[in-house]
């Protein structure tokens, strides 16, 4: 699990070090790490370090000082360093003196560098690049290494509402910040540099493969089909039977628990998944431990009545697609564990009905605050789909998915995710865990199924067991050995 820390948390962690260390010592730690990454990038891109050219884009704050001190370390390795100063009278004086003493130069234009270091604004910056900086950044052709955060991108929300740096690499000083998860296109690869900060209480977290190994339900020697969780799937219609097949199939593939299907696509489901117990109506499904409701469900009066009956139960539930449309028409606050899985349009409809504040935050691009606000208003965990999927529970605990496969944006892909979430809820996982685990595996499966080319929801679903086989493999066990 990786934590992402707010600027206030980072500044609080820096304060005791700044008080205890000599002037600029913490800055030089960050600058040394930045210079090491720049040197490695030069070597990888040009085959060497000595004699290469680097331009520093230097703002007025400590971020500019980081870039200047990094330039000093690069000069010691024989790099030609020029610095463009965007606020000459407010430039970090000690850093600029050190760069000049090391043979670095102040320049008016970047020239033709092999690499550029973005030190324009740091974690206290807000808003897009100003015109002078935007003009220079827009004309660059060399790759950019951003110091801590790409300038012009909001550190907390990842929003870039104007000209901004698009980095090839971002060097995070001491801690990952929300921007590193929320704006992957602007940050590029993110390298963390340890500068001695002690932090706790992350603002966001992302699940990794270790979390899948820790929390994914794996049967033990005393388990049977019932003890691993029985999930009910209420999905599909005469118009959309495929949604039922996809949601049910992904539930089958996600765990070894039992799957019961209830709906009008019974025959189509059984034709593909004979291991499923299928009935025509949720009232006839028998005992389940969680429900997955909504894909292809329909939005007529009959569907609305069926959804209302399911929402009135005390069972955990994932609500998706048509069921979200119905919920927006008649909002219900449940006491039972509930996971809502809207895309942006479905989120907007729900927020219009219950939380104008959440809608305003979504419109402003602050997807984390929007998800948290709607989750609090509805008393349900909200999984806001997107390239970076956000999962927030009613008390504000929040995860972000950093796999972010664009190939997951294909028809029926959400139905696959819904079935996985339902299976995990039935296995006893919390809505936050179920949504976070399922999202990561779903993204990995989408990338695996695509292989760099267009794919389909059926292929994504089929890739789920292969992804789980790889991730859940005991450490040190090779794929070949496991096959034997």
Is 343 annotated as a binding-site member? yes
DSSP string computed for 154-212 = -TTT----SS----SEEEEESS--HHHHH-HHHH-EEEEE-------S-SEEE--HHHH
Going by pLDDT thresholds of 50, 70 and 90, the confidence category of residue 478 is low
Going by pLDDT thresholds of 50, 70 and 90, the confidence category of residue 365 is very high
| Burial class of residue 477, CB neighbours in 10 A (0-12, 13-18, 19+) | exposed
Q: Is the pLDDT reported for residue 136 higher than 90?
A: yes
Residues 46 and 75 in one domain: yes
Considering the domain boundaries, does residue 480 fall inside one?
Answer: no
The least confident of 82-86, 218-222, 264-268, 302-306 is 218-222
Whole-model pTM? 0.94
Residues 240 and 335 in one domain: yes
Residues 47 and 157 in one domain: yes
Is 177 annotated as a binding-site member? no
Is 296 annotated as a binding-site member? yes
pLDDT at residue 477, rounded to an integer: 60
Contact 420, 338 (CB under 8 A): no
**What's the mean per-residue pLDDT of the chain?**
95
Going by pLDDT thresholds of 50, 70 and 90, the confidence category of residue 475 is low
Instruction: Report how far residue 10's alpha carbon sits from residue 141's, in angstroms, rounded to the nearest whole number.
Output: 32
Residues 218 and 84 in one domain: no
Residues 387 and 445 in one domain: yes
For residue 235, what is the domain's CATH number?
3.40.1190.20
Residues 201 and 245 in one domain: no
Is 386 annotated as a binding-site member? yes
> What percentage of the chain exceeds 90 in pLDDT?
92
Considering the domain boundaries, does residue 290 fall inside one?
Answer: yes
Q: Is the pLDDT reported for residue 480 higher than 60?
A: no
pLDDT tens, residue by residue, 366-407: 999 999 999 999 999 999 999 999 999 999 999 999 998 787
Contact 468, 482 (CB under 8 A): no
- When pLDDT is averaged across residues 422-450 and rounded to a whole number, the result is 97
The rounded Cα 220 to chain-centroid distance in angstroms is: 31
Residues 33 and 181 in one domain: yes
Considering the domain boundaries, does residue 181 fall inside one?
Answer: yes
Strands ordered across the beta sheet of 80-85 = 105-107, 80-85, 53-58, 115-119, 144-147, 169-173, 189-193
Residues 171 and 249 in one domain: no
Is 387 annotated as a binding-site member? yes
Considering the domain boundaries, does residue 378 fall inside one?
Answer: yes
Residues 309 and 256 in one domain: yes
Q: How many domains does the chain have?
A: 2
Residue where a domain stops, chosen among 205, 231, 258: 205
Considering the domain boundaries, does residue 88 fall inside one?
Answer: yes
Q: Determine the structural domain holding residue 270 and report its residue range.
A: 209-472
pLDDT at residue 295, rounded to an integer: 98
Residues 16 and 106 in one domain: yes
pLDDT at residue 483, rounded to an integer: 35
Contact 425, 431 (CB under 8 A): yes
Instruction: Please tell me which residue, 159 or 478, carries the higher pLDDT value.
Output: 159
Residue where a domain stops, chosen among 205, 226, 253: 205
Residues 264 and 413 in one domain: yes
Instruction: Report how far residue 407's alpha carbon sits from residue 405's, in angstroms, rounded to the nearest whole number.
Output: 5
Residues 80 and 103 in one domain: yes
- When pLDDT is averaged across residues 227-249 and rounded to a whole number, the result is 96
Is 385 annotated as a binding-site member? yes
Contact 294, 324 (CB under 8 A): yes
In 335-398, alpha helices (H) = 344-354, 356-363, 367-378
Is 243 annotated as a binding-site member? yes
pLDDT tens, residue by residue, 77-123: 999 999 999 999 999 999 999 999 999 999 999 999 999 999 999 99
Q: Which of 372, 363, 440 is nearest to 408 (CA)?
A: 440
pLDDT tens, residue by residue, 12-59: 999 999 999 998 999 999 999 999 999 999 999 999 999 999 999 999
Instruction: Report how far residue 240's alpha carbon sits from residue 320's, in angstroms, rounded to the nearest whole number.
Output: 14
Is 365 annotated as a binding-site member? no
Q: Is the pLDDT reported for residue 484 higher than 90?
A: no
Considering the domain boundaries, does residue 60 fall inside one?
Answer: yes
Instruction: Report how far residue 466's alpha carbon sits from residue 253's, in angstroms, rounded to the nearest whole number.
Output: 10
DSSP structural state of residue 239: S
Instruction: Please tell me which residue, 478 or 17, carries the higher pLDDT value.
Output: 17
Going by pLDDT thresholds of 50, 70 and 90, the confidence category of residue 409 is confident
How far is the CA of 44 from the CAs of 40, 130, 381, in angstroms? 6, 32, 44
Terminal CA-to-CA distance of the chain, rounded, Å? 32
Considering the domain boundaries, does residue 152 fall inside one?
Answer: yes
Considering the domain boundaries, does residue 73 fall inside one?
Answer: yes
Residue where a domain stops, chosen among 205, 227, 246: 205
pLDDT tens, residue by residue, 302-355: 999 999 999 999 999 999 999 999 999 999 999 999 999 999 999 999 999 999
Is 382 annotated as a binding-site member? no
For residue 74, what is the domain's CATH number?
3.40.50.10260
pLDDT tens, residue by residue, 346-364: 999 999 999 999 999 999 9
Is 160 annotated as a binding-site member? no
């Amino acid at each position: 699990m990786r934590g992402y820390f707010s600027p206030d948390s980072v500044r609080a962690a820096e304060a005791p070090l700044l008080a205890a260390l000599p002037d600029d010592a913490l800055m030089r730690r960050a600058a040394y790490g930045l210079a090491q990454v720049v040197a490695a990038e030069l070597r990888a891109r040009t085959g060497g370090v000595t004699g290469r050219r680097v331009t520093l884009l230097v703002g007025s704050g400590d971020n500019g000082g980081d870039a200047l001190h990094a330039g000093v370390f690069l000069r010691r390795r024989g790099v030609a360093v020029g610095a463009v100063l965007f606020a000459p009278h407010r430039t970090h004086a000690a850093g600029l003196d050190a760069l000049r003493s090391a043979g670095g130069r102040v320049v008016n234009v970047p020239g033709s560098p092999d690499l550029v270091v973005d030190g324009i604004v740091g974690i206290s910056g807000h808003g897009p690049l100003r015109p002078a900086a935007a003009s220079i950044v827009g004309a660059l052709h060399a790759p950019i290494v951003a110091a801590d955060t790409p300038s012009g991108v909001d550190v907390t929300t990842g929003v870039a509402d104007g000209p901004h740096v698009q980095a090839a690499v971002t060097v995070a000083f001491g801690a990952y910040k929300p921007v590193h998860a929320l704006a992957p296109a602007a940050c590029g690869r993110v390298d963390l540099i340890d500068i001695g900060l002690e932090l706790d209480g992350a603002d966001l977290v992302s699940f990794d493969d270790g979390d899948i190994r820790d929390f994914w339900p794996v049967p033990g020697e005393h388990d049977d089909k019932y003890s691993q969780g029985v999930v009910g799937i209420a999905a599909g219609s005469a118009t959309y039977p495929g949604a039922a097949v996809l949601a049910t199939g992904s539930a089958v593939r996600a765990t070894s628990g039992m799957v019961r299907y209830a709906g009008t696509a019974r025959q189509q489901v059984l034709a593909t998944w004979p291991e499923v117990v299928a009935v025509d109506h949720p009232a006839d499904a028998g005992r389940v431990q969680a429900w997955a409701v909504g894909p292809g469900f329909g939005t007529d009066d009959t569907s609305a009545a069926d959804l209302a009956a399911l929402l009135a139960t005390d069972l955990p539930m994932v609500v998706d697609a048509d069921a979200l449309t119905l919920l927006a028409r008649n909002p219900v606050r449940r006491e039972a564990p509930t996971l809502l899985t809207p895309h942006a349009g479905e989120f907007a409809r729900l927020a219009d009905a219950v939380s104008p504040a959440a809608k305003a935050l979504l419109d402003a691009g602050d997807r984390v605050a929007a998800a948290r606000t709607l989750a609090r208003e509805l008393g349900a965990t909200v999984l806001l789909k997107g390239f970076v999927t956000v999962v927030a529970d009613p008390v504000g605990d929040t995860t972000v998915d950093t796999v972010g496969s664009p190939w997951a944006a294909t028809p029926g892909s959400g139905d696959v995710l819904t079935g996985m979430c339902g299976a995990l809820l039935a296995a006893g996982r919390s809505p936050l865990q179920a949504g976070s685990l399922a999202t990561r595996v779903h993204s990995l499966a989408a990338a695996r199924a695509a292989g760099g080319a267009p794919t389909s929801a059926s292929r994504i679903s089929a890739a789920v067991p292969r992804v789980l086989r790889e991730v859940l493999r005991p450490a040190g066990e090779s794929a070949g050995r496991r096959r034997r």
